[in-house]
Every structure is written in C-alpha cells, then in structure tokens.
Structure 1
Amino acid sequence: MNRTIPLVLAVALFMEQMDSTVIATSLPAIAADIGTDPIALKLALTAYLVSVAIFIPISAWMADRFGARRVFCTAIGVFVAGSIACAFAGSLSGFVLARFLQGMGGAMMTPVARLLLVRATPRGNLVSAMAWLTAPALIGPLLGPPVGGFITTFVSWHWIFLINVPIGLAGIVAAAFLLPEAEGEGTAPIDMRGFVLSGLAAAGIVFGLSVVSLPALPPVVGMVTLGVGLAATGLYLAHARRAPRPILDLSLFGNATFRAAITGGSLFRFGSGATPFLLPLMFQLGFGMTPFESGMLTFTAAIGAIGMKFFARRTLRRGGFRTVLVIAALGGALMIAAAGLFSTGTPVWVIMAVLIAAGFLRSLFFTSVNALVFADLDDARAGQATAIAAVTQQVSIALGVALAGVILEAVTMISGQPLQAGAFQIAFFIVAGVAALAALPFWRLHPTAGNAVSGHRLGGDNARSQVLPPR
C-alpha cells in the first residue's frame, strides 16, 4: 500500500484535531491578554464548532465541482489564515471571528481528506489506509493539552496558533505535489435551500448543546438555538425527499452497511467524545493535578492509538467488520466505565494501562467504522458519504459533551456540594452505557458485511452487506 497519500492527509487532520483541544488549556492566559473572561472566551470554542457544522455539508459539492485536491489545499490555507488571525486577535469579538474562519477551513479538511483517500485507494487496502489516516488524528486531541500547557507556560499562547503556519504550508506543498489529480466533475448547481437548512440544523444543534454544556451564555439561549436546529432538521428532511440533488443525500441510509456505520459510530462518539471533556476535569478538579500533569497522563492513550494501526488490517481480515466492531464498541465502553473507578489512590500505572487499552480500542473502532462507511458504496457516492459522516460526527460529539456536562451539573445540584469525584464516576458510567449501545447496529449486520474491504472470507455475493432478520 502507498502510505504517502494517507500520511499527507493525516498531517492536516493532526493539525486540525490538535488545535481544537490545545486552546482549552490556554483559555485563562488568552482571556487575560485580550481583556476578557475565560467563561466568555468559551464562545470561541463554540464559534469553531458552529463554523464546522455549517460548512461541512457543502464540502462534497465543492470537491466535485472544483476538484478534491484543490479544495483540500485551499482548506489548509483558510485554516492557516484563521490561525494567524487568532494569534493577532486583540479582543473577544476578533478572536471569535478568527476561530470561525479557522472552522471554515477545518470543515473542508476532514471530509475532503477522506474523500481523496477513498478515491485513491483500492477497496482491499482501505482499512490500512484508514489506520494511517486515523492514528495521527486521534493523537492530536491527546497531544493538545500537554502541548498547550507547555507553550502557554514557557513561551506564549500566540505560538499555539503560529505553529500551524509552517505545518500548514508544508501540508499545502506536499498535497500539491504528492496527492493524485482529482479534477472537478462539473456538478449541478448547489442545492442552496438545502445548504441553508442543513447549516441551520447542524449549527443550531451544535451551538445549543455547546451553550448548555459550556455555559458562556444564559442556558435559555442554548435551548432556543437547539429548538431552531431541531426545527431546521425537520424542514431539511422534508426538503431532501423532494429535491432531485439534495446537498446531503439521505437516500444513502437505505444502504444497510452505511446506516449501521453512521448509527453505531454516532452512539460510540457519545462516550468517546465526552471522555476528553471529563478526564482532564476529573484529574484537575477531583485529584488536584496540574493541567500539565493531567495532559501528560491522558496522552498515554496515544500509545494504544499508534499501536493499533499495525493490527487493524489483520484483525479485520480475521474477524470481519461485524465481530470486530461489536467487540471494540463493548471493550471501548468498558474502558470508559473503568475511568469512572479511578480515585486518588489508584496507582498511576493502572490509570496508564486503562488509558492505553482505551486508546487501542477507540482507534480500532474508528479505523474500522470509517472504512465501513464506504464498504458498499461506489466512488460516485463517496463525496456524499464523507459529508454525512462528518456532520453526524460533529453532532454526536457535541451531544456527548453536553450529556456529560448536564450529568455533572445535575449531580452537583442534587447533592448540594461542589463538583467532586463521585459526580465524574456517575458521568463516566452513563456515557459508557450509551457508547455500549453502538454494538447493536453492528450486531444486526450479516457476518460477511463489508468483506470486499476487510478481506474476511471474501467470495462472491457474500461480500455484499445484508441485514439479518430481527432476533
């Protein structure tokens, strides 16, 4: 397998994923420098998520219209421009706008990178390619907290964003020379009504959930915005049934393999998306660790994520998508629940072992489910698949963080005590239960689903996905 393509794409995803978490550690320093409150500055985190949610649906149309490689390079350029604007922002409004610009670039990078990978990789090599693409993207969020703490403490918070400039420029050059040509196909005019409705739906849901879980505005604002997002979702569903070429083609859910991948992946992200939110808070507020100590400890999960890529293809070839995803979902959920058992007396080596195992299982799950999305789709529908997968990913992660935040708030209110370790235990157990539900959609798949990609018992019509009768 040619590893050049996934590695070039992974550089951009690593930069984008790390940047989305590195800022959290540096919020107090940034707020003090630009003269605002750290709570208010959380609007910058929300602005990024909203921008990503708005512009992801248009990514497939842009890639087909102008060429995936050209759009990918432009997306990196927009992200770098937003990074520079963040570094030089001198006010809350300027910083929020800069993060919104960053989000525009990030919205295009991830789905278009997957689209480029799928179109350039034979289906038999897709699992290995996804492993190389997924591992750096999983390491980014883990590396973010310790890197952010180090740069903010020993250098300056501005370099959190300025470091993206050389990385981004190198990524543009590498993509321009090493990625295959992918010219636009002269697609039909954009579905503007669908773009507006889908943008309102995704942005409303993500913004509303973010405000509820990270209150920088009155909770009523989040509830109203969430209501607008849900209403727009209903309107888009009605529109998509009538439109000849909707911007997000929901007919893909008629494919059993695609439907299971999106449903199961979304449920698992509820738990995995809440974990990076819960762990640092528990380590710092519950156990009294410094941000740097907390970041270095959570980073051990990267060891498991890196190690997984050497086993993913062999594991799927031996077990098939159905078996591997059921085991990875249940095992990953068990590791999330295990984190709820951590205490100040838990040996560090035990915490590290659990986090390494969690990183391995989480990386195996996402490598597998990201490949399963395309297992029964041809290249013509790959663009739509990447856009839908990216939108559901953003919404499910926001739901997971919001669920965790609501649980912590509820336990605190009921107990009448400040946030304590017991609240985190309850939160970990609940989000782990939701993540475990991800096994159900995969359990209903035929054992040979996606075999054309996994290579498991490959042969004839068995490579096609089916759904078993209800059990």
Structure 2
Amino acid sequence: MGDFMTRGPVSPTSRQPLLWVVALGFFMQTLDATIVNTALPAMARDLGESPLQMHSVIVAYSLAMAVLIPASGWLADRFGTRRVFMSAIALFVLGSVLCALSSTLPLLVGARVVQGLGGALLLPVGRLAVLRAFPRDEFIRAMSFVAIPGLVGPLIGPTLGGWMVEYASWHWIFWVNVPVGLVGLMAARRFMAAGEVLAVRGFDAVGYGLLAFGMAAVSLAVEGMAGGGARSASSLVMMIFGLASLAAYWLHALRSDAPLFVPGLFAVRTLRVGLLGNLFSRLGSSCMPFMIPLVLQVSLGYAPMQAGMMMLPTVLGSMAVKPVVTFMVRRWGYREVLVVNTCALALLIASFCLITPGQPPWLLMVQLAAFGGVNSMQFSAMNTVTLKDLDTGHASSGNSLLSMVQMLAMGMGVAAAGAVLASFQGYFGAADAQDTLHAFRATFACMGVLTLAATALFLQLPPHEPPRPHPLGPEEQS
C-alpha cells in the first residue's frame, strides 16, 4: 500500500478519535455483511421473488468488495487517505439509500454493488490511516481496538435484521446506515489527517482489468450454473473466459514492471497453500450465514427475529474458541490442526442435513455453537499461516491479496450454495415446505463434502510447524 511512513506519527491526543472513526467504518461494513441474511425472505416477498433465489443480493456485495480491494492501497496513496475514506463512506451510504429504494431484484443487486464498492475501502484505507498515525510499537494495540466492532457487527447483525423486518420493514436495515454514515463523514473530516498524496508507481490498469474481470466472470458463472438450458451454456462460456482472464493476469504479472501483486509473493510456500486453502475451505463455510436463516424461516417456520437470534450461538462459539487457537497450533502445528479442523468443519456443515421441524431449539443451538467454534479456529489458523512467512516489504501486498481471496470465496460460496439449492429444488419440487427442506438438506451435505477438498491443500504445509509473530495485527486472524 505504498510508503506507510511518509507522515510521522501524529500527537497522542489526535490518535484516539482516529481509532473511533476507523472502528465506526469497520462496524458499518461488518454489520451490513450479516444484517441482510435474516431479511432475505421478507425482501423476496416484497419483490415478488423466490427466497431461494435471493443469494445474488449477498454475492453482489462480496464480489464488489473483492474487485476493488486490490486497488485500495494505490487509491489511498494517489488521492490521500482521508479523501478516499470519506468517499468510501459516501459510496456506502449512497448504496444503502439505493438498496432501501429498490423495487426489483436487479435494482437491489445493483445497489448492493455500489454499497460493496464503498465497503471494500473502509477497512484497508482505515488501517492505512492508523498505520501512518501510530508508532510501529503501538500499531497492534491500535488495530486490536479497531477490531472490536468486527466482533460486535456479526454478533448483533442477524438479530437486529430480524427485529427490523418483524417490527418495521426490511428497508430499515439499509436506512439505518444513513445516520451512522453521516456521523462517520463528519468525524473523518474532523479527526483523520488528510494524508499526503504520494508519488506512487503507475497503476497496473491492464492487470487490474484482467483480475477484476476474471473474478467477476468466474463468480457469476458459478451462480448461473443451476439455470439449465441456455443459462447453463452461457455460464460455461463465462467460466472459460473468466479462467482465461485469470491466467492472462498471471502471465501479465510475470513480465510487468509494476504488477498489482508481484509474482515473488508466490515463492512463499505457506502463502500459496494458505490462499488456496482459504478459497476452498471458505466455499463451504461462507454459505452458512446465508443458508441457516433461510432454512429456519422458509422450511421450519421461524419468525425473522427468532432466526436472527439463532445465529448468536455461532458468534459466541467463535469468540469462545479464539483464546485456544494459538495453544493448539503451538502444540500440534499448523498442518495437523488445519487438516483435522477442516474435516471437522466439513462434518459440521453436512450435519445440518439432519435438521427436522421437530428438532429441539437447544440442540440446534449446540450445533450452531460447535460450527461457530470450529469455523473460527479454521479462519484464525489458515489466515495466520498465509501471512506468517512474509517479510515486511511483502506483508501489505500479501494482506491485500488475502483479503481479496476471502471476499471472493465468500461470494463464490454463497453463489455455489444458491446454484446447488436451485438444482435440488428442481429435483425435489417446491410444492410445500417439506420439499424445500429436502433441497436444503441435500445442499448442506454437498457443501460439507465440498469443504473436504481443502484438506488436500493443507497437507502440503510443513509438518509440526509452530506459529510465529503475526506481521500485521490481530484483526487479520479472524
């Protein structure tokens, strides 16, 4: 992300307000990533769509974030951190307003793209502002403070979304961003340093175009695979063009003087394995925040707020496991923990194919808490192993690449689950809730099996390798 230290650390009295500004932006982004899930059935009713076809609302947001993340550092260096951060908040608020005003699914998807473009810049540019304002020895503590909203957002998002749908309307999950965003704009203008416009290297527009088109084409192709007929054929063509574009980016990067991601990054074994492991293991786990509230409402008859509250054990399980991750990795090593944990994660995802209408809520809560804990351990271990061997010069670029892969995997995971669910719906039919439940069960089983593919990747890690200090800070480990 350019030269981090072009500005000296600012005075201590100016630093704490800056942390609150960046934390607010992070909170907006993480809250919106989870608050939508419980509102999807209500959105579908208002827009005249099937609830099982609403995954594009989530895919559009994640994909837009993945596409813009690689350019975040260059934009901040070229135009200044405050200007880009405020533009990101403005885009996010504009997208929220457009979402609230949307009357059709295509309009809502387009508005989510605008919202995702703003969300893509909030954390990377905010982190850059903190890094330039704080001495190196205080950076980890500062980012630990900023990371707190990243835990609070998913904790309250599903329940808040369900409450708004039940007692107001789904539009309010987007309107609530407007006052928060306006406060963020005023605070950023007041407390964030403008940031010097740096003499940055030229932007690799060709490489960026190839990478962005490749990611978008592959994701949209996965989403369209279940359409059948001409739609499946066009998705196959799009998939081929997307893969060709990604291959062309790699060949371009090998001969470019200033590529987005230098090929030397991939000389690091743990980075290669970690990125691919992130991609494949997240394909299964990323669909769960979309699938669980949907099956609870569509097939099991839960109210929106009840469905949102049922997601709380997942977040609590995630938080409970974090303190023991380092101990387990030190005791057994990254490869051993990730291989075993990936198998456990796959089994837990597949176990949701056993849910029934008469299942006691406490049993479902235990199941969700176990999934949250295992999923949290997976994220913490594989994110850390991805970045742990990068030197200081490559740490920022590697982190941006990891963030891009994470968002791409989230979008592709939801797209894949939506495609599989639509295929099984066509097989089982949709005459009643029982038919739909069969489609959900089969989809959970498939996504669990899909997650197992990552074990072959994690087996390529060195055996019994303990952790080492993380190069960027604790917020990247979750």
| TM-score interval, smaller chain | 0.7 to 0.9
Unaligned runs of 5+ residues in structure 1 are: 456-471
Instruction: Report the equivalent of 1:364.
Output: 377
Letter in 1 for 2:223: S
Partner of 1:430: 446
1:27-426 aligned within 5 A: 27=40, 37=49, 44-66=57-79, 71-89=84-102, 95-112=108-125, 136-137=149-150, 140-141=153-154, 143-171=156-184, 185-212=198-225, 218-220=231-233, 222-415=235-428, 419-426=435-442
| Counterpart contact for 2:210–2:249, Cα < 8 Å | yes
Listed one character per residue, the Cα deviations across residues 77-110 of structure 1 (whole Å, up to 9, x for unaligned) are 3212322343345676664443222121112234
Deviation larger for 335-344 or 419-428: 419-428
**TM-score, normalization by structure 1:** 0.79
What letter is aligned with 1:57?
P
Distance, in Å, in 2 between the alignment partners of 1:315 and 1:173 is 44
Aligned to 1:466: none
- Superposed CA offset, 1:288-332 (max 9, x none): 323332222123211112223444455545555444434433332
Note if contact 1:264-1:441 (Cα within 8 Å) is conserved in structure 2: yes
Cα deviation, 1:237-272, whole Å, max 9, x if unaligned, reads 221222111123343122112112211111210111
* Contact 1:321–1:454 (CA under 8 A) maintained in structure 2: no
User: Contact 2:58/2:414 (CA < 8 Å) preserved in 1?
Assistant: no
| Greater alpha carbon shift after TM alignment, 405-414 vs 197-206 | 405-414
Partners of 1:412 and 1:38 lie apart in 2 by: 11
Residue deviations 1:48-76 (CA, integer Å, cap 9, x gap)? 34432332221232244445566445423
Contact 1:372 1:450 in 2 (8 A): no
- Distance change (3 Å), C-alpha of 1:118 and 1:355: farther
- Paired residue type of 2:36: I
Say whether the 8 Å CA contact 2:21–2:184 is kept in structure 1.
yes
Q: Against the structure 1 CA distance between its residues 172 and 203, is the aligned structure 2 distance closer, same or farther, given a 3 Å change threshold?
A: same
Specify every segment of 5 or more residues in structure 2 that has no aligned partner in the other structure, as ranges: 1-14, 472-478
CA contact (8 A) 1:60 1:386 kept: no
After superposition, give the CA deviation of every residue in 1:130-169 in whole Å (9 maximum; x if it has no partner): 8877675466456434322321231243321222234335
Distance 1:342 1:175 in 2: 47
Give 1:23's match in structure 2, choosing from 36, 45, 50. Answer: 36
* Cα distance, 1:441–1:75 mapped onto 2, change above 3 Å: same
C-alpha distance 366-205 of structure 1, shift in aligned 2 (>3 A): same
What SS does the corresponding residue of 2:36 show, helix, strand or coil? helix
Would the aligned equivalents of 2:41 and 2:297 in 1 still touch at CA under 8 Å?
no
Residue in structure 2 matching 1:442, options 443, 458, 461:
458
Which deviates further from its counterpart, 10-19 or 248-257? 10-19
CA–CA distance in structure 1, aligned partners of residues 390 and 197 of structure 2: 20
Whole-angstrom CA distance in 2 between matches of 1:255 and 1:32: 49
Q: CA deviation at 1:222?
A: 4.0
**CA distance in 2: counterparts of 1:48 and 1:269, whole angstroms:** 16
* 2:11 equivalent in structure 1: none
Report the RMSD for the aligned CA atoms in angstroms. 4.0
Match of 1:438, as an amino acid? Answer: A
Report the Cα distance in structure 1 between the residues aligned to 2:19 and 2:209, rounded to whole angstroms: 32
Q: Which amino acid aligns with 2:222?
A: L
Equivalent pair of 2:65/2:116 in contact (CA under 8 Å): yes
Q: Cα 1:432–1:95, aligned 2, differ >3 Å: closer, same or farther?
A: closer
C-alpha contact 2:350 2:445 (8 A) present in aligned 1: yes
Write out per-residue CA displacement over residues 180-237 of structure 1, whole angstroms, 9 at most, x where no aligned residue: 997565321101111211111111122333344699x955554444343223222222
Which is worse superposed, 138-147 or 294-303?
138-147
CA contact (8 A) 1:404 1:431 kept: yes
Q: Is the 8 A contact 1:286 1:421 kept in 2?
A: yes
Say if 2:290 and 2:414, in contact at 8 Å, map to a contact too. Answer: yes
- Distance in 1 (alpha carbons) for counterparts of 2:20 and 2:227: 34
Question: How far apart, CA to CA, are the structure 2 residues paired with 1:36 and 1:196?
Answer: 35
Go from structure 1 to structure 2 and tell me whether the alpha carbon gap of 1:47 and 1:428 turns closer, same or farther (over 3 Å shift): closer
How far apart, in 1, do the equivalents of 2:436 and 2:408 lie?
A: 28
Q: In the alignment, is the contact (CA less than 8 A) between 1:301 and 1:360 conserved in 2?
A: yes
Distance 2:131 2:456 in 1: 26
Q: Which amino acid in the other structure matches residue 58 of structure 1? A: A
Q: CA deviation at 1:175?
A: 6.5
SS at match of 1:247: coil
Identity of matched residues, %: 33
Pairing 1:432-471 to 2, within 5 Å after superposition:
432-447=448-463, 449=465, 451-453=467-469
Give secondary structure in 2 for the equivalent of 1:403.
Answer: helix
Task: Give the alignment's TM-score, normalised by structure 2.
Answer: 0.78
Given that 1:53 and 1:206 are in contact with CA atoms closer than 8 Å, whether structure 2 keeps it comes out as no
AA matched with 1:435: T
C-alpha distance in 2 between matches for 1:454 and 1:384: 15
